[in-house]
């Protein structure tokens, strides 16, 4: 009975801490308890300092956990590491792993290093993965690549989702070369990529305007028996739209239909934009009509692109019809579309 009461009190205190964002109030709350602080409560305190953007103080709480005879969890260390990353202190995030016994390093102080080897490797891999995600979200792809390299030096085989995070981080920052390098490394190490991998690679190539390589990546995808999804096809169509290659975009669209992948609003909007850029208003209108026939409500991108297509072709009446449709459906025209209507 007494243990149940204690567990309930601990749970309530942890819940109170999770609702706080003021470290001073959180510390005061802990000081009012007349029993030993639990690991869960310390973890909640870590969260308070992380939310307050105080990673150094959060790190000290990790040490308090170790001094209490417990080992900080992957979640604890990852949260503090992420806080250091957001403060542009990547070196501190990496040092944190070794300090608390992760990533194959020995803990320098406290009992935190006492952990079975199997669990140790599992924790290390998960921690590396979390740190890669932190660097990706912070827009630091070079640091994400370094973490991947450190992982390999520790003899840990990265999972496909870890590679995907690194490739996506490179793609989002416009570093196409690094994204392709990481993908090639996967192939050398015989790590089977999945659809997400190829989608990230195609996005990187698209951003760099390397459309010839997009088709090469797509054929590698098929050769490895990885099934393309709607995101794959949409990314390819968008790439060809940006480089004014309507025939290529149409080819991908037909291939998509042959494979039984149902186009969505992004697909049709990209195609309409493709034909608008290529001064092919009739084909843009055809896609717009097909979109509606499929029961997909045209979005702002599709409508604005179609208005621009008609305006460029000196067809003001058709542009006005689309504008009126937008008003009926509560879709707001953008500045370019409004200017196109004025000038049509």
| pLDDT tens, per residue, the chain with 344 residues | 434 433 434 466 667 767 766 778 877 777 777 667 777 777 888 888 888 888 888 888 888 888 878 777 777 877 887 788 777 776 777 677 666 655 433 333 333 333 333 444 455 677 678 778 877 877 888 888 988 887 887 778 889 999 999 999 999 999 999 999 999 999 999 999 999 999 999 999 998 989 989 999 999 999 999 999 999 999 999 999 888 899 999 999 999 999 999 999 999 999 999 999 899 999 999 999 999 999 998 888 888 889 888 888 888 888 888 888 888 887 777 776 676 666 65
- pLDDT, residue 148, reads 87
11-34 pLDDT, tens per residue? 666 677 677 667 788 777 777 776
- pLDDT, residue 100, reads 64
The CA distances from residue 26 to 21, 44, 53, in Å, are: 8, 9, 15
* Distance in angstroms (rounded) separating the CA atoms of residues 88 and 331: 40
DSSP annotation string for 233-268: HHHHHHHHHHTT-HHHHHHHHHHHHHTTPPP-HHHH
- pLDDT, residue 170, reads 94
Q: How far is CA 263 from the centre of its chain?
A: 23
Q: Please state at what angle helix 74-86 crosses helix 55-67, rounded to 10 degrees.
A: 160
The CA distances from residue 296 to 18, 262, 267, in Å, are: 42, 11, 11
* Distance in angstroms (rounded) separating the CA atoms of residues 237 and 174: 19
- Least Cα distance to 61 among 76, 74, 81 occurs for 76
Q: Where are the beta strands (DSSP E) in the chain?
A: none
* Distance in angstroms (rounded) separating the CA atoms of residues 38 and 33: 11
Two structure tokens written together for 266 = 């992004």
- pLDDT, residue 249, reads 94
Q: Where are the beta strands (DSSP E) in 273-313?
A: none
* Distance in angstroms (rounded) separating the CA atoms of residues 97 and 106: 9
Is the Cβ–Cβ distance between 151 and 158 less than 8 Å?
A: yes
* Distance in angstroms (rounded) separating the CA atoms of residues 24 and 8: 24
93-122 pLDDT, tens per residue? 767 766 665 543 333 333 333 333 344 445
Burial code (b: 16+ CB inside 10 Å, e: under 16) for 77-92 equals bbbbbbbbbbeeebeb
Is the Cβ–Cβ distance between 105 and 97 less than 8 Å?
A: yes
Is the Cβ–Cβ distance between 200 and 164 less than 8 Å?
A: yes
- pLDDT, residue 35, reads 66
* Distance in angstroms (rounded) separating the CA atoms of residues 97 and 156: 14
- pLDDT, residue 202, reads 95
Is the Cβ–Cβ distance between 246 and 240 less than 8 Å?
A: yes
Phi, psi values for residue 173, rounded to 5°: -90, -5
- pLDDT, residue 80, reads 84
- pLDDT, residue 8, reads 38
The secondary structure of residue 111, as a DSSP letter, is: G
Burial code (b: 16+ CB inside 10 Å, e: under 16) for 111-126 equals ebbebeeeebbebbbb
């Amino acid at each position: 009975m007494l243990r149940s009461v204690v567990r309930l009190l601990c749970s309530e205190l942890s819940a109170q801490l999770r609702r706080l964002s003021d470290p001073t109030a959180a510390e005061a709350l802990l000081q009012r308890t007349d029993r030993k602080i639990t690991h869960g409560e310390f973890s909640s305190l870590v969260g308070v300092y992380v939310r307050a953007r105080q990673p150094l103080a959060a790190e000290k709480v990790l040490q308090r956990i170790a001094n209490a005879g417990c080992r900080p969890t992957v979640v604890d260390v990852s949260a503090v590491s992420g806080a250091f990353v957001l403060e542009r202190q990547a070196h501190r995030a990496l040092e944190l792993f070794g300090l608390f016994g992760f990533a194959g390093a020995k803990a320098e102080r406290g009992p935190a290093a006492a952990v079975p080897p199997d669990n140790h490797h599992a924790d290390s891999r998960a921690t590396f993965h979390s740190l890669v995600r932190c660097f990706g979200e912070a827009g630091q792809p070079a640091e994400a690549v370094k973490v991947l390299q450190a992982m390999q030096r520790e003899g840990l085989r990265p999972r496909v989702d870890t590679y995907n995070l690194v490739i996506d981080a490179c793609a989002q920052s416009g570093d196409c070369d690094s994204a392709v390098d990481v993908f090639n490394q996967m192939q050398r190490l015989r790590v089977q990529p999945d659809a997400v991998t190829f989608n990230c690679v195609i996005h990187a190539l698209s951003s760099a305007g390397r459309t010839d390589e997009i088709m090469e990546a797509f054929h590698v995808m098929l050769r490895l028996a990885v099934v393309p999804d709607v995101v794959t096809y949409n990314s390819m169509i968008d790439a060809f739209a940006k480089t004014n290659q309507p025939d290529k975009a149409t080819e991908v669209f037909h291939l998509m239909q042959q494979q039984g992948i149902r186009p969505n609003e992004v697909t049709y909007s990209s195609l309409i934009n493709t034909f608008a850029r290529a001064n092919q208003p009739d084909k843009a209108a055809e896609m717009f009509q097909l979109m509606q026939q499929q029961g997909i409500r045209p979005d702002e991108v599709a409508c604005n692109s179609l208005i621009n297509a008609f305006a460029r072709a000196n067809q003001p009446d058709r542009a006005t019809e689309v504008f009126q449709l937008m008003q009926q459906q509560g879709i707001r025209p953008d500045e370019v579309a409004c200017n196109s209507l004025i000038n049509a």
